Amino acid sequence: MDFLRISDVGIAGLRTILDATARIKASPSDVEGLLSGTSIGVFFEKPSTRTRVSCEVAAVHLGAHPVMLRGDEVGLGKREALKDVARVLDRYVDALAFRVFRHEHLEELAKHARGPVINLLSDVGHPCQIVADLATIEEHMALQGCRITYVGDGNNVCNSLLLGGAMSGMHVTVCTPPGYEPDAEEVVAARAIAATTGGSITLMSDAVAGMRDAHVLYTDVWTSMGQEAEAEQRLRDFEGFQIDLAALSSADANALFLHCLPAHRGEEVTDDVMEHPRSMVFDQAENRMHAFSAVLLYASGSLPTW
């Protein structure tokens, strides 16, 4: 099955993937070689460090052969029709994992590929990241009823966090300056899910109030790749949305700090918060690898029944 949005797998499917992520991290040998003899096409239209390395290492551990592709090699929608790219690659590999600028390109690929298509990041969402995030939180506290506050740009990560948090029964608060809110359709979808799980979705522009008593504080860069021309304006717009020690102190006494990385230290987060004992950013980064293993096995129909 495809994994384009985290909601694609449903609440029960997400629970299965999270349990598998924890199991794989605790006992990697349990899944070693399970995809032996298969191949996965991994494509990056934009640069990547964590996603590329974690996916490649995870695939190799599972026994799959990762075929790494660059944007200039494939030229999505430029050199040839997307449906042709999908149907050709589908004859060579057993699964596709793509990082793209435009989510509709993923949807078109999934429409024409017979094997699973996994979203490694698009302008709409970053579902594999959120699996890792939820797995990281669950190492310290239950997801149901957890109060998580996302501060900053309502971007693709934020969109997926809304959905994943709602599916997990979390109380998700998103604090953004006016004009930087998450995608309206994703908010509506998340609220509909939260109504069935006991969770909630709150949007506000008051970051100080939003971070107070939170169990988890989460942020991302204010200026993403491709937005460099907006950097100075964004620095002005996001003034007051930095997570510093005062913000962390205003949260729950045992609050965790998360960041999907890369971090722009001194902008969205201070150095002392990044290095704080309650900063889980490097556990979070490690969990990207285990989460991708779980997602790939699930999407391929090869996840063991433990």
Active site residue 126: yes
Active site residue 288: yes
Give the residue among 155, 96, 93, 111 at the shortest CA–CA distance from 129. Answer: 155
Q: Which of 94, 260, 284, 290 is catalytic?
A: 260
Q: Which of 126, 171, 215, 290 is catalytic?
A: 126
Active site residue 129: yes
Give the residue among 168, 166, 173 at the shortest CA–CA distance from 193. Answer: 166
Q: Which of 129, 147, 234, 252 is catalytic?
A: 129
Under 8 Å between Cβ of 28 and 61: yes
Q: Which of 5, 147, 259, 288 is catalytic?
A: 288
Q: Which of 5, 61, 99, 259 is catalytic?
A: 99
Active site residue 191: no
Strand order in the sheet with 65-70: 65-70, 39-44, 95-99, 117-121
Q: Which of 2, 94, 153, 220 is catalytic?
A: 220
Active site residue 158: no
CA torsion, ordered 155, 259, 233, 206, to nearest 10 deg: 80
Burial 150-164 (b: 16+ CB within 10 A, else e): bbbbbbbbbbbbbbb
Active-site residue list: 99, 126, 129, 220, 260, 288
